[in-house]
Each structure stands twice: as C-alpha cells, then as structure tokens.
Amino acid sequence: MSKTNEKLPDLLAEAVLKGSSPVPQGLVKVDGINYSKPEATDMKASDLINSMKKMGFQASTLGEACEIVDKMRSWRGKHIDELEEYDRKGSFDENGYQKTTIFIGYTSNLISSGLRETLRFLVQHNMVSAIVSTAGGIEEDLIKCLAPTYLGDFTLSGSTLRDQGMNRIGNLLVPNDNYCKFEEWIIPIFDKMLEEQEEYVAKHGKDCLDANTDVDSPIWTPSKMIDRLGKEINDESSVMYWAHKNKIPVFCPSITDGSIGDMLFFHTFKASPKQLRVDIVSDIRKINSWSMEASRAGMIILGGGLIKHHIANACLMRNGADYAVYINTGQEFDGSDAGARPDEAISWGKIKVGAKSVKVYCDATVVFPLIVAATFANGKPLLKPEETD
C-alpha cells in the first residue's frame, strides 16, 4: 500500500516552497489586453499603449516613454510678461508661456525608412524645438524629394546589387541614379552659396571668416547650410523644408560624412581655387546656448552614436535634461555611448538626478510611430501643469 501522507523532505520544502515575504504595497499586478472585450476591438494607439503598460518587458517601457513624452510636451512655466527681459529665453508656446525645449535626434537610416513621414509631422507642426541628425539624415530627406527609395530584402546579394547600381540600407534599396540627381540639384546651390560667401568676404574682409557672429551672414555653418537646402528644396514632403519654414535649427556636426560631403568634395574641384567654408564652432556654440537658455530641456533620441551624444552633451551645459526618452537596440556591455542607459548620462550630468527618463530597447521604426500616435498626434488636450511634475 502506498503512503499517502508521507512528509515532504525539509530540503525540498526549503528549496522549492520557501515562503514569500509580504508583497510590498504599491506593486502593480502584471496584466495584458483582453481582446474579448468590445473596447479591445481596433483600439486607438493611446488605448493600446495604455493597455500594454502592465504587460512587462518593453511593452511597459513603451508605456513609460509615452508618459514622459506627454509630460515633456505639456510642461508650462511662467508667461513671458512675468519675466525680466534678460530672462525671456528658451521656448514659449503660442500663448506666451514657457515650454520644454525638445531636442530630437535621429540617425540617417530612419529618414531612409518610412519613419521620415512621422518625423516630418513633428517638425511641420512645431512639436520639437531643435533637431540633431547625421549627414545621411539630411541628404536622404532631400533625395527623397527627387527620387524614391524602394523596399528590398535583407538577404539580397551585395555583389549583385553593386552590378545593378543599387545600394542597400537594410531591406531598403536606393538606386545610384538618386545620388546623380542629388548632385545635379545641389551643385548649383553650392555655386550660389560660394558666390554669396565671396561677396561677403570682399565687403567685410577675410577676418570675417574667423569671427562668424552675424546670424544672417553667408559664412556658412552646418545649420545655416541645412536651412538653405531646406529652403531650396521647396517640397512639403521634406523634413528640412518644414524645419526651414518653422525656423527649427537642424544641427549636423558630421555634415561631411555622407553624400553631402561627397558633393562638397566634388565642388572643391569645380570651384578651385575658391571653396565653401563651413564653420562648426559657431554651431556648437549655438546648440549649447539653446540648451543653456531652455527653461526645461527634453531629449528624444532615436538611435545612438553622434546624434545621441551631441544632444546629451548640449544638455550637460545646463546640468542635465529634465526628460529623456532613448529608443535603440544598443547594449552597454561594450561601454558604447549608443548602448548606454539614461543612468550613465546622469553620472555625467547630461540628465538631471531625478529627471524622468527611460530607454526602450527596440527598433525605432516599430515603436516611434506608436509613441507619436499616442502622444503628439492623439488629438487630446495637453496635461494640466500640475499633472506634469
């Protein structure tokens, strides 16, 4: 006969069935979406993300990112009339109240993708204050106004594509002809910019090249050059067009690291012995000053590398950003800035201690459209001031 009341060995009881301490107050129960409920049918983005907040993993960080973005864009400070004249700096809303200066940074592959249209929406509607991009993030936006980028496949043969004059960006394809069209478009603009530069130098002397303080002078900086290209493209599908239209500065310290750099290189031969001068020092002063003057500063970083650090380092000049949302797939085991979590930036003073920050580990093309749909584009009133702190 079997023993039905045999005692469980003490070792097993201790190892497997160890009792729990009392559950701390305030812990949230893991929960997901009940698709059986009528309200779960064809949900709005904001409702979907709200339902994902308790799922755990990156679903929960996505929800947290949306909360931070909403706080970032909703914060309001004093009215401009309440401030002394020397304090009337930073960003103000249409009613004259201080608002968060929002820096958005993105890498070139995201403009090559269909995320370009999401970014254009933000710039078109003045929802961000300043942009930092790589050179590819500038030129690919302009090139798309001249010729399309196509969907391909990650597995296409590089040697075959080379023979076909096709360039692969992940699973996207860009014909070489697109860059030929870009050259035809941009070189005459460089000619005109050089002409304006030389006329200015002739009038003010060569010393003006070493003291570029005149905002309207044709002594070019990357941001001035990009603004000019946005003006010249004159195409409402372009992010750069709307940046020019809305006077949103676009910073690109790596302006020569791409097709624009190729075109500047080609232009040195065409224009020799003269050449365009591009002053990067004036732009670092400009972006750092924007950060220092901000009443509050927020960072939305899509990707990593130069764009991430350039914004974070600007925020260091004001002792850190007040809000930060990172979206990338980088890991920090190799010590890279791209993979670093917000906590590392806090150690440098690039994000304030106590600031609202999160990193979402995901491809930005997957989650950023959801974030924008649930926040900037949700059509709902902004949070009340007391809800943003």
Q: How many domains does the chain have?
A: 2
- Strands 351-361 and 172-175 come out as unpaired
The reply to whether 207 and 229 lie within a common domain is yes
In a domain, 39, yes or no: no
Q: 46 lies in a domain?
A: no
Asked if residue 125 belongs to a domain, the reply is no
Q: State the maximum Cα–Cα separation within the chain, in Å, rounded to a whole number.
A: 110
With respect to residue 37, please indicate whether it lies within any of the assigned structural domains.
no
Number of CB atoms found within 10 A of residue 148's CB: 11
Q: In terms of domains, do 180 and 314 share one?
A: no
Catalytic choice (350, 352, 356, 359): 350
Q: In terms of domains, do 271 and 159 share one?
A: yes
Kindly list the distances between the CA atom of residue 228 and the CA atoms of 106, 241, 327, in Å, as whole numbers in the listed order: 20, 9, 30
d(CA 378, CA 57): 24
Does 193 lie in the same domain as 314? no
Read off the pLDDT of residues 118-165 as tens digits, 9 standing for 90 and up. 999 999 999 999 999 999 999 999 999 999 999 999 999 999 999 999
pLDDT at 1: 47
* Each residue's pLDDT tens digit, 17-64: 788 889 999 999 999 999 999 988 999 999 999 999 999 999 999 999
d(CA 307, CA 287): 12
Structure tokens that stand for 332 in this block: 């920090």
Q: What is the CATH number of the domain that holds 180?
A: 3.40.910.10
Lowest mean pLDDT among 3-17, 227-241, 277-291: 3-17
Q: Is the pLDDT of residue 9 over 90?
A: no
Domain span at residue 310 reads: 52-100+294-389
Q: Omega before 273 cis (within 30°)? A: yes
**Domain stop point among 242, 261, 283:** 283
Bridge partner list, 151: 172
3-state secondary structure the chain: CCCCCCCCCHHHHHHHCCCCCCCCCCCCCCCCCCCCCHHHCCCCHHHHHHHHCCCCHHHHHHHHHHHHHHHHHHCEEEEHHHCCHHHCCCEECCCCEEECEEEEEECHHHHHCCHHHHHHHHHHCCCCCEEEECHHHHHHHHHHHHCCCEECCCCCCHHHHHHHCEEEECCEEEEHHHHHHHHHHHHHHHHHHHHHHHHHHHHHCHHHHHCCCCCCCCCECHHHHHHHHHHHHCCCCCHHHHHHHCCCCEECCCCCCCHHHHHHHHHHHHHCCCCCCECHHHHHHHHHHHHHHCCCEEEEEECCCHHHHHHHHHHHCCCCEEEEEEEECCCCCCCCCCCCCHHHHHHHCCEEEEEEEEEEECCHHHHHHHHHHHCCCCCCCCCCHHHCC
Pick the closest to residue 197 from 186, 184, 209, 207 (CA basis). Answer: 209
Q: Check if the beta carbon of residue 102 is closer than 8 Å to that of residue 73.
A: yes
Regarding whether 214 and 154 lie in a shared domain, the answer is yes
| pLDDT, tens only, 276-333 | 999 999 999 999 999 999 999 999 999 999 999 999 999 999 999 999 999 999 999 9
Per-residue exposure over 263-277, b if at least 16 CB sit within 10 Å of its own CB, e if not? bbeebeeebeeeebe
Last residue of a domain, one of 228, 262, 283: 283
pTM above the 0.85 mark?
A: yes
Q: Is position 224 within any domain?
A: yes
Q: Does one domain contain both 298 and 279? A: no
Tell me, what's the pLDDT at 378?
92
Considering the domain architecture, whether residues 154 and 271 belong to the same structural domain is answered as yes
Tokens of 382: 């902004």
Average pLDDT of every residue of the chain: 93
234 and 352 in a single domain? The answer is no
Q: Are residues 257 and 379 in the same domain?
A: no
Q: Which residue carries 């809305």 as its tokens? A: 246
* Structure tokens, 53: 């907040």
Kindly state the tokens that stand for 208. Answer: 């003006």
Rounded-to-integer distance, Cα 46 and Cα 369, Å: 11
Residue predicted with more confidence, 372 or 10: 372
Query: What average pLDDT does range 374-379 have in this prediction?
Result: 94
- The answer as to whether 5 is a domain residue is no
Compute the distance between CA of residue 241 and CA of residue 236 in angstroms, rounded to an integer.
6
Shared-domain flag, residues 151 and 261: yes
Q: Are residues 152 and 279 in the same domain?
A: yes
Q: Over 60: is that where the pLDDT of 210 sits? A: no
Q: How are beta strands 297-302 and 91-92 bridged, if at all? A: unpaired
Instruction: Show which of 232, 261, 283 is a domain's final residue.
Output: 283
Same domain, 246 and 360: no
For range 63-76, the mean pLDDT: 97
Model confidence at 7, pLDDT cuts 50, 70, 90, reads confident
Residue 286 annotated as catalytic: no
Percent of the chain with pLDDT over 70: 94
- Average pLDDT on 267-282 reads 92
